[in-house]
Amino acid sequence: MKRDSLLVRLLLLIFCCSLASLTVWKAFGSRDRALTEVSIHGLNLAQAISTYSDSIVKQGSQLLIGIVERLEAEGYGPAELGRLHALVERQAKLMPQLSSVSIYDREGGLLMSTASQISSLTNVRDRSYFSHHLGVDSQDAFIGPPIRSRANDEWVITLSRRFNDESGRFLGVVVLSLRIENFLSLFGQLDVGQDGAIGLTFADGRLLARYPFREQDMGRDFSNSPIYKKYLVDRLSGTTSYVSSLDGVERIYAFRKSENFPLVATVAMGKDEALSAWRVETALSAVVVSGLLVLVGIIGSFLIRDMRRRAEAEERLINTQRDLLSSNKKLELMAMRDSLTGLANRRCFDEVLINEARRAKRHGAPLGLLMVDIDYFKLFNDSQGHVEGDNCLKAVCQLIEQSVRRPGDMVARYGGEEIAVIMPNTDRAGAEAVAQIILNNLREEKIPHDSSPLGIVSVSIGVASAIGPQLDGLKQLVESADEALYRAKVQGRDQFSF
């Protein structure tokens, strides 16, 4: 009897230790999964913010180009400025984030402004954008640091370009003021928790906008902070955990750099807040396990019932592990698909592009890439509503998938209304042929778009292709496709460009 009792106690001790260890292992595993999910959520939000910021800057840049071309071609007399003022007023209705558009001469004096409160005596020689364009002979747009508007005292971000005379001499500056409040309004709609924060900074570390808003943070330089030096200098995107130098809160940071402008979108979520649900779950698991241990201790002297309970517990654990594996596989598949369009998402696109580039490099084969963007999609959303906009996006994505016929090709939602097509073993001629098929099929579909000059939904396509050894830099391939897409836009849309 004593040997049997000792054996039962030994078996009970082994079982209790095993159960406790398994609980601890599951608790730490759940913690890691919770942090991973928060990181992925943060990266997705950072991508959305980066895409939003890019679209605003691109739209503003296009408006600047049009104004500068008119000034350089027609001059800036009273009649010309009057027509230009009317044109800008109409364009401003399409950009709710636009605070004002102002034109200054070579001395910094005001020529024209859509801001009614600004004085005609206003001079901007002290502003950074004026100093920049006065000293730098470039027609590129300049994104300035956050400043207070002299017209209405609100915080704005400036986007500016210089205009020249026929000899290329400096004549003045055109300035777009973008409301920081508009960015904060969008940031405030994103769920990052009570301890969360969202920021938009220059690539050199200077702060443009931060939510929650604190006036003392405007224009602050983070270039000497450890997180900037360690992560933001040479990486396009990533996540890390760090204690904020602003308020001392430990947060999980997700950041993504813009590929087109010197901007970085950052999403930070409080680490303690992110783990609160995990703590509750762990506490409940601990209570349940404690109850089981007490129950097993009471009935441990009964060997048969003890063995039966042990067998049942093992079976439950096996089923739980099987369910967890099945759930993880489903989550992994879901993580690679875009929920709206059903296409592969950006993460899947990045992985497939890397793998196909490696394969093409090994075999010396060509690799084609299309970047497709829906023309005037923002106008479609503004006029038809986001529900119809989503339906339009899904219809265009389905049509592109049907146009890309080879099993090895992949269509992915690159971001917003931009779709990418990866085509292994496809040279430039083949990629252009696929692009033309997409354009023809969409024209035949004739999806109505009242806000487009064409009256129907159209797309612009950037075509890029590289062969084997040329694929050392994937970024160059993507940038080539983006540049080609931009050329297609500039050349009138509803076409492709290489």
Domain with 420, as residue range(s), is 346-497
Question: Which DSSP string do the residues of 471-486 spell out, in sequence order?
Answer: GG-HHHHHHHHHHHHH
- pLDDT category of residue 212 using cuts at 50, 70 and 90: confident
Asked whether residue 376 is assigned to any structural domain, the reply reads yes
Which CATH number fits the domain that encloses residue 228? 3.30.450.20
Q: Is the pLDDT of residue 250 over 60?
A: yes
Which CATH number fits the domain that encloses residue 405? 3.30.70.270
End-to-end CA distance of the chain: 87
Q: How far is residue 282 from each of residues 28, 38, 78, 276, 286, measured CA to CA in Å?
A: 9, 18, 72, 10, 6
- Indicate the range of 12-21, 120-129, 206-215, 349-358 predicted with least confidence: 12-21
196/291 same-domain check: no
7/90 same-domain check: no
51/154 same-domain check: yes
Maximum average pLDDT range among 98-102, 151-155, 390-394: 390-394
pLDDT score, position 11: 64
Using alpha carbons, select from 152, 141, 125 the residue that is nearest to residue 57: 141
205/307 same-domain check: no
175 beta partners: 102, 160
Q: Please check whether residue 112 is in contact with residue 79, taking contact to mean a CB–CB distance below 8 angstroms.
A: no
Q: Please check whether residue 474 is in contact with residue 375, taking contact to mean a CB–CB distance below 8 angstroms.
A: no
Domain end (from 258, 278, 298): 278
Residue range 182-187: average pLDDT?
84
Asked whether residue 335 is assigned to any structural domain, the reply reads no
Residue range 116-140: average pLDDT?
86
> pLDDT (tens digit, 9 = 90+) per residue, 448-478?
999 999 999 999 999 999 887 666 667 888 9
Question: Which DSSP string do the residues of 348-361 spell out, in sequence order?
Answer: HHHHHHHHHHHHHH
> pLDDT (tens digit, 9 = 90+) per residue, 275-324?
776 777 677 766 766 776 666 667 656 556 666 677 676 777 777 677 66
Q: Is the pLDDT of residue 205 over 60?
A: yes
CA distance 294 to 410: 56
- Indicate the range of 1-10, 141-150, 405-414 predicted with least confidence: 1-10
Q: Is the pLDDT of residue 331 over 60?
A: no
Asked whether residue 493 is assigned to any structural domain, the reply reads yes
Residue range 261-286: average pLDDT?
77
29/90 same-domain check: no
260/300 same-domain check: no
129/254 same-domain check: yes
Q: Please check whether residue 141 is in contact with residue 159, taking contact to mean a CB–CB distance below 8 angstroms.
A: yes
Q: Is the pLDDT of residue 254 over 50?
A: yes
Residue range 156-179: average pLDDT?
92
Helix (H, G, I), strand (E, B) or coil at 275: coil
Domain end (from 278, 302, 319): 278
274/162 same-domain check: yes
Other Cβ atoms closer than 10 A to 326: 10
Maximum average pLDDT range among 53-67, 199-213, 269-283, 460-474: 53-67
The percent of the chain in helix, strand and coil, each rounded to the nearest 5, is 50, 20, 25
Maximum average pLDDT range among 233-242, 276-285, 311-320, 356-365: 356-365
pLDDT score, position 473: 62
> When comparing pLDDT for 175 and 275, which is higher?
175
Helix (H, G, I), strand (E, B) or coil at 199: strand
23/97 same-domain check: no
Q: Residue 409 has what DSSP assignment? A: -
- Indicate the range of 76-85, 142-151, 191-200, 284-293 predicted with least confidence: 284-293
Map tokens 């055109």 to a residue. 174
> When comparing pLDDT for 6 and 382, which is higher?
382
Asked whether residue 339 is assigned to any structural domain, the reply reads no
> When comparing pLDDT for 402 and 276, which is higher?
402
Count of domains for the chain: 3
Task: Output phi, psi for 453, to 5 deg.
Answer: -60, -25
Strands of 237-243's sheet in order across = 207-211, 197-202, 263-270, 250-257, 237-243
352/363 same-domain check: yes
28/139 same-domain check: no
How many residues are there in the chain? 498
Q: Is the pLDDT of residue 5 over 70?
A: no
Please, what's the b/e burial string for 331-369 (b: 16 or more CB within 10 A of its CB; e: otherwise)?
A: eeeeeebbeebebbbbbbbbebbeebbebbbeeebbbbb
Asked whether residue 425 is assigned to any structural domain, the reply reads yes
Asked whether residue 341 is assigned to any structural domain, the reply reads no
379/238 same-domain check: no
Q: Is the pLDDT of residue 121 over 70?
A: yes
Using alpha carbons, select from 183, 144, 156, 158 the residue that is nearest to residue 52: 183
pLDDT score, position 28: 61
Asked whether residue 486 is assigned to any structural domain, the reply reads yes
pLDDT score, position 247: 66
Task: Output phi, psi for 172, to 5 deg.
Answer: 160, -170
Mean of all residue pLDDT scores within the chain: 83
- Give 392-398's long-range contacts (Cβ < 8 A, gap of 24+): 392/447, 392/449, 392/457, 393/340, 393/341, 393/417, 394/340, 394/341, 394/342, 395/445, 395/447, 396/442, 396/447, 396/457, 396/459, 397/341, 397/342, 397/343, 398/341
- Indicate the range of 178-182, 269-273, 294-298 predicted with least confidence: 294-298
Residue range 366-379: average pLDDT?
95
Asked whether residue 338 is assigned to any structural domain, the reply reads no
List the Cα angle 309/310/313 in 5-degree steps: 85
Q: Please check whether residue 96 is in contact with residue 111, taking contact to mean a CB–CB distance below 8 angstroms.
A: no
CA distance 20 to 24: 6
